[in-house]
Amino acid sequence: MNKEILSKKEQLFMYFVGTFQSSAWIALGKIKNPMTEKSKVNMEQASFYIDLLDMMFEKMKGNLTDYEEQMLINTVSELKMNLIDEKNKNNSKDKKETKIIKKKKD
């Protein structure tokens, strides 16, 4: 799938997908928000952007070039894996905090 010359429509599609991808990375706290210069995790917002990309893929099935389809699949997959990692981190952190609270009550 290594393609060096992209059509204008493919370039625009990549930019479109990249916009939502960047927003998801910001919401996952993986890159700094350019407005605040801070990283903050917002799982609900990250899920929203990932769901948008996933919905785009479902609605556009059969209308994408092989390159566009593979790029969208890879983008959504990578974001979903990072979302799961963040959820696991948060669950682990919550469990630790719960244990600390229980110890303090005892």
| Residue among 35, 24, 36 nearest 86 (CA) | 24
CATH number assigned to the domain covering 9-105: 1.20.58
- Position 3 scores a pLDDT of 58
Angle between helices 8-27 and 66-105 (to 10 degrees): 0
Q: Which residue has the higher pLDDT, 97 or 54?
A: 54
User: What ranges do the domains of the chain cover?
Assistant: 9-105
Sequence-distant (≥ 6) Cβ neighbours of residue 86 within 8 angstroms? 28, 29, 41, 43, 46
Angle between helices 43-60 and 8-27 (to 10 degrees): 150
| pLDDT, mean of residues 87-92 | 83
Sequence-distant (≥ 6) Cβ neighbours of residue 61 within 8 angstroms? 69
pTM: 0.79
- Position 15 scores a pLDDT of 95
Q: Give residue-wise pLDDT tens across range 11-68.
A: 999 999 999 999 999 999 999 999 999 999 999 999 999 999 999 999 999 999 998 9
